[in-house]
A and B are shown apart, each in its own frame.
Chain A
Amino acid sequence: TQLLEQSPQFLSIQEGENLTVYCNSSSVFSSLQWYRQEPGEGPVLLVTVVTGGEVKKLKRLTFQFGDARKDSSLHITAAQPGDTGLYLCAGYLYNQGGKLIFGQGTELSVKP
């Protein structure tokens, strides 16, 4: 079983602070995706990173894919209460029939 370790599992911060969430694995992924999930809903895709070393920005969110395509990070600048939610990373394994495996998730709470 491939493992994708996500940390931290819980994060509670004040509005305006910065934060980083990490995903690490010993597996090499074809691509890596980040999702955000609201309570009672399914996960919704934020971004896909494909190339080793790739950096993508989505407003205040910065996503990075490691050079070896085994790890990724999500950095949020000046967090807002609207960023509160569950963040999930998922690694795509093309050579295993198109399998997507998920990290454990990071529960983020941003307090006003």
Chain B
Amino acid sequence: DVKVTQSSRYLVKRTGEKVFLECVQDMDHENMFWYRQDPGLGLRLIYFSYDVKMKEKGDIPEGYSVSREKKERFSLILESASTNQTSMYLCASSLDRSGNTIYFGEGSWLTVV
């Protein structure tokens, strides 16, 4: 079974702090994604990556950056956390860009106070 692991399930951070959300997949998938999920807005794509060291902006990249130094790991970085970044963050991976199943992690609940 594919496993997408997000290192932190629940985090509380202060405004202005730098926040790292880590995601690891164990199936040698090419594509990895970061979404945030907010009530009434569904999942919105922040960044995605289809290869090591490659990244593409999603629909809401402002305030975020990403890093993909190794194929299995995709990190989401909040350089200076703000209260409007309080949300559930979901990492996902898929085999390639041909529309295969996307597998999600369990999510990371981030609260910025």
Nearest B residue to A31 by beta-carbon distance?
B99
Neighbour of B44 across the interface among A43, A92, A102, CB < 8 A:
A102
Q: A98-B97, A98-B98, A104-B40 are in contact. List 15 more A-B contacts (CB 8 A).
A: A33-B101, A40-B106, A42-B90, A42-B106, A45-B102, A45-B103, A88-B43, A94-B97, A94-B99, A98-B50, A99-B58, A101-B59, A102-B35, A102-B42, A104-B41
B103 smallest CB distance to A (angstroms): 8
Residues A45 and B56 in contact, CB atoms below 8 Å apart: no
Q: Is B34 an interface residue (CB 8 A)?
A: no
Spell out A's residues near B (CB within 8 Å): 1, 4, 6, 9, 30-31, 33, 40-45, 48, 50, 88, 90, 92, 94, 97-105
Residues A99 and B42 in contact, CB atoms below 8 Å apart: no
A56 smallest CB distance to B (angstroms): 14
Neighbour of A44 across the interface among B33, B41, B44, B104, CB < 8 A:
B104
Bound form: Cα–Cα A104–B102 in Å: 18
**B107 neighbours in A (Cβ, 8 Å):** 40-42
Neighbour of A6 across the interface among B42, B58, B98, B102, CB < 8 A:
B42
B7 smallest CB distance to A (angstroms): 14
A34 smallest CB distance to B (angstroms): 12
Q: Is B94 an interface residue (CB 8 A)?
A: yes
Bound form: Cα–Cα A104–B45 in Å: 12
Given contacts A41-B106, A41-B107, A42-B106, contact A99 B45 (CB under 8 A): yes
Given contacts A40-B107, A94-B99, contact A99 B48 (CB under 8 A): yes
Bound form: Cα–Cα A104–B38 in Å: 9
15 contacts between A and B (CB under 8 A): A1-B59, A4-B42, A6-B42, A33-B101, A40-B106, A42-B107, A45-B103, A90-B43, A94-B99, A97-B50, A97-B56, A102-B42, A102-B43, A104-B42, A105-B42
A96 smallest CB distance to B (angstroms): 9
Nearest A residue to B43 by beta-carbon distance?
A102
Nearest B residue to A2 by beta-carbon distance?
B59
